[in-house]
Amino acid sequence: MTVEPVEIIRTPIRLEYDYTPGGARSRFLRGLEQGKILGERCPSCHKVYVGGGSGACARCGVPCTDVVPLPDTGTVTTFCVVNLPFAGATIEIPYTSASILIDGADIPLMALIQECPADHVRMGMRVEAVWVPDDERAPTMDTIRYFRPTGESDAPIDDVLKKMRDA
């Protein structure tokens, strides 16, 4: 008979959802499947949203009308170096998660930065998307594996942040 008292129990929680991203995010994800980053422009303030939010402009409250193809390059506006391992993580620590303002967009996307030591990542760093091979593209965020430095000189971060505020 086991004599050790019980001190720890396993209480796993598992929830299964049918996730529906809605129209706007579906368009964005289908764009990724085509190897494109698609933004959507507000007809009123002309702000370009990317990442497929609600499909409406948060500021003006009107539906975005135009789909805008964007390049797969951008600027790091802020970032977080992850040093703690957690269950289900697929990347070695430390790694960097960053907000990236895609060129031509007015709000940033969240993505991983790789091919760059975590302590070299900085605000204003220029980055480009690294895609999965063409035949593996799917309507999922994993279609962009991560962003990596382009090697260009940094964007003037104050101007970039000001553009985001004023957009």
Partner 1 sequence: MSETARAGAATDVLSALHVLEYPYKRSVGPVIGRFLTGLRDGRIEGIKTVSGKVMVPPVEYDPETSASLSEFVDVGQAGVVTTWAWVAEPREYNPLREPFAWALIRLDGADTALLHAVCADESSMRTGMRVRARWKPERTGHITDIECFTPEDE
Are β-strands 37-41 and 73-82 bridged in parallel, bridged antiparallel, or unpaired? unpaired
Q: Which is nearer to partner 1, 26 or 114 (CB)?
A: 26
Q: How far is the CB of 146 from partner 1 (least distance, A)?
A: 21
Quick one: tokens of 162? Answer: 């000001």
Least separation, in Å, of the C-beta of 111 and partner 1?
A: 19
By CB under 8 A, name the binding residues for partner 1. Answer: 1-2, 5-27, 29-31, 34, 36, 38, 40-41, 55, 63-69, 87-88, 139-140
Q: How far is the CB of 89 from partner 1 (least distance, A)?
A: 12
75 Cβ contact list (under 8 Å, min separation 6): 100, 101, 103, 124, 125, 126, 127, 155, 157, 160
Phi, psi dihedral angles at 109 (to 5 degrees): -100, 155
In terms of Cα–Cα distance, which of 69, 71, 97 is closest to 82? Answer: 97
* Residue closer to partner 1 (CB basis): 10 or 165: 10
Q: Is the dihedral of CA 52, 77, 73, 119 positive or negative?
A: negative
Least separation, in Å, of the C-beta of 23 and partner 1?
5
For the CB of residue 24, give the shortest distance to partner 1 in the complex, in Å. 7
Nearer to partner 1 by Cβ, of 80 and 138: the residue is 138
Q: Which is nearer to partner 1, 90 or 153 (CB)?
A: 90
Nearer to partner 1, 134 or 166 (CB): 134
**What's phi and psi for 30, nearest 5 deg?**
-65, -30
The answer to whether 96 and 80 are in contact (CB under 8 A) is yes
